[in-house]
Amino acid sequence: MSEAAPGPLDGGPRMVLGIMRFGTTTSEATAFALLDRWAEAGGRWLDTANCYAYWSSPSGHGGQSEQVLGRWLEANPGVRPQIAIATKVGCEAVPPEKNPAGTEGLAGPVVKQGLRDSLERMHTDYVDLYWAHRDDHVVPQGETVAAFTELVAGGSARRWGYSNAALWRVERARSIAAVSGQATPTALQLRYSYLQPRPFVRDHIHDHRFGWVDDQTLDYVDHNPEVEIWAYTPQMEGAYDRPERPINPAFDHPGSTKRLEALTRVAADLGWSRGQVVLAWMTGAPTPVAPIVGVSSLAQLEAAITATSTPLPAELQQSLDQPW
Ligand SMILES: NC(=O)c1ccc[n+]([C@@H]2O[C@H](COP(=O)([O-])OP(=O)(O)OC[C@H]3O[C@@H](n4cnc5c(N)ncnc54)[C@H](OP(=O)(O)O)[C@@H]3O)[C@@H](O)[C@H]2O)c1
């Protein structure tokens, strides 16, 4: 078995390429061009899930993103060792008679079969990171930990992590694993960007109640440096730069006014878009976070690579860290 891949903040563009829309709203031809450019630029990590993107597929099921990646890997023999793949289990839609939650959940057999199916779609025999996509409060957590541990021990997953779970649940899983000599989750995948939402706001963007990086998350990884934070939707789907995509009202509070002023100032200084500044800020913050960037064109990919390959000058970073 090869060594675990370096983390997304360890060299190269300091980001993860999110391929959620590949094979559905992003055509296969565009996806191939983006993957080609990612590999050429020395990019490493890709993030997908077994359920991507069921909401954009007439079938109501996911798998298209993994399938496109599988066809690209097949078309590019030799590229696999350079590429690190992260995929997820737990959110594929299932009928309510199978699971009243409407998603597949994290029972042991689901986690293990999920990876077998993902590997088949991606034409590979291992993933570099396997995520629990959302928490499951019905399945005993020890069962989930044991399933991920079995996959890590067998080599089909190099490591595992939790997405959209409350921090206390992650810590409990890590404790269960630590006392029983099992594989501990070493990554968290949560929503995060430069603007922070008002606490307790509930709307469509809060579909995962604890799916957010907050100050406690940052403190947690400061004291547990073996745990990485990966941030999804870091560019708020283009809302920083596209007036036709207004910023969600959940971010409408005085703190955002200050942050947007700081962001606009730094963007003007650098001649960058505000979205680019957000990506650079995140990777250079006192507690660095790896952005998972979604793109649908080569121009968007280039912009992200530039932003995550160039550390911000210290005074600009600080003006963003302390915008008050
Ligand atoms: N764990 C989870 O629950 C979860 C949830 C969501 C996402 N994710 C992961 O996170 C990844 C990224 O999520 P996301 O796509 O929501 O993140 P995002 O990076 O905030 O949004 C990507 C979208 O922003 C627009 N964009 C990108 N670059 C731009 C630029 N330079 N200028 C203007 N607009 C730009 C594009 O929209 P257009 O394509 O419309 O141009 C692009 O599709 C996904 O691929 C997935 O891997 C995980």
Q: What is the pLDDT of residues 220-240, one digit of tens each?
A: 999 999 999 999 999 999 999
Instruction: Establish if 290 belongs to a structural domain.
Output: yes
Residue 60 has pLDDT above 70, yes or no: yes
State which amino acid sits at residue 253. H
At residue 139, the pLDDT reads: 97
Instruction: Establish if 268 belongs to a structural domain.
Output: no
Instruction: Establish if 264 belongs to a structural domain.
Output: no
Find tokens 């798998």 and name the residue: 63
Helix, strand, coil tally for the chain in percent (to 5): 45, 15, 45
Q: Rounded to whole angstroms, how far apart are CA atoms 243 and 49?
A: 30
DSSP string, 266-294: HHHHHT--HHHHHHHHHHHSSS--EEEEE
Are 124 and 74 in contact by the 8 Å Cβ rule? The answer is: no
At residue 202, the pLDDT reads: 67
Assigned token pair, 227 = 């745990």
184 CA to centre of ligand 1 in angstroms: 28
Q: Percentage of residues in the chain with pLDDT exceeding 70? A: 98
- Please enumerate in sequence order all residues whose Cβ is within 8 A of that of 126, keeping only pairs 6 or more positions apart, or say none: 1, 119, 155, 156, 157, 158
**Beta carbon of 282 within 6 Å of any ligand 1 atom:** no
**Beta carbon of 245 within 6 Å of any ligand 1 atom:** no
- 261 pLDDT band (50/70/90 cuts)? very high
Instruction: Establish if 2 belongs to a structural domain.
Output: no
**Cα-based distances in Å from 308 to 36, 61, 283, 321:** 18, 33, 7, 17
**Structural domain harbouring 67:** 16-252+274-313
**Beta carbon of 236 within 6 Å of any ligand 1 atom:** yes
Q: For the domain that residue 73 is a member of, what is the CATH number?
A: 3.20.20.100
Give the number of domains in the chain: 1
At residue 204, the pLDDT reads: 57
**Beta carbon of 234 within 6 Å of any ligand 1 atom:** yes
At residue 165, the pLDDT reads: 96
Instruction: Establish if 10 belongs to a structural domain.
Output: no
Please write the tens of the pLDDT for every residue from 310-324.
Answer: 899 999 999 999 988
- Closest-CA residue, ligand 1 atom 14, reads 233
191 CA to centre of ligand 1 in angstroms: 11
**Beta carbon of 164 within 6 Å of any ligand 1 atom:** yes
DSSP string, 159-224: -EEEES--HHHHHHHHHHHHHTT-PPP-EEEEE--SS-PPTT--SGGGSSTT-B--HHHHHHHHH-
Q: Rounded to whole angstroms, how far apart are CA atoms 323 and 306?
A: 23
At residue 200, the pLDDT reads: 82
Instruction: Establish if 261 belongs to a structural domain.
Output: no
What average pLDDT score do residues 289-302 get?
Answer: 98
CB atoms within 10 A of CB 176: 18
Query: What average pLDDT is seen over the chain?
Result: 95
Find tokens 């070493």 and name the residue: 186
CB atoms within 10 A of CB 94: 16
Instruction: Establish if 303 belongs to a structural domain.
Output: yes
Instruction: Establish if 259 belongs to a structural domain.
Output: no
At residue 2, the pLDDT reads: 60
| Residue burial 106-124, b: 16+ Cβ < 10 Å; e: rest | bbbebbbebbeebbebbeb
Q: Which atom of ligand 1 is nearest to the CA of 134?
A: 3
Please write the tens of the pLDDT for every residue from 103-152.
Answer: 999 999 999 999 999 999 999 999 999 999 999 999 999 999 999 999 99
140 CA to centre of ligand 1 in angstroms: 33
Kindly report whether the global pTM for this prediction surpasses the value 0.85: yes
